[in-house]
Amino acid sequence: MLKNTNECVHLSIRVLWKKNEVAEAEATTFSLFYNNALFLMLVVVGSFLIFKSVTPAYNYVFSTLGAAGIIALFSTSTQ
């Protein structure tokens, strides 16, 4: 009986560990997708709406650095 209980506890610990591992991988994947989508949206908005009257080289630099700065700010903030 004790051996069975010990095996059950060990099995439930392994299942819980695997579940946490899968949840962590899914959270990382979602975070990457969200950050990439937000970066792309910010670059497009910055390029075509905010910096449309600026020369192309400065338009690229400002929109890319602005989007990267905003993403860095959002990704390092705590909830």
What's the pTM? Answer: 0.76
CA dihedral (55, 49, 74, 31) in degrees, to 10, reads: -100
Residue 63: exposure state from Cβ atoms within 10 A (0-12, 13-18, ≥19): buried
pLDDT tens sequence for the chain (79 residues): 446 777 777 778 888 888 888 889 999 999 999 999 999 999 999 999 999 999 999 999 999 999 999 999 998 877 6
In whole angstroms, give the CA distance from residue 51 to residue 55. 8
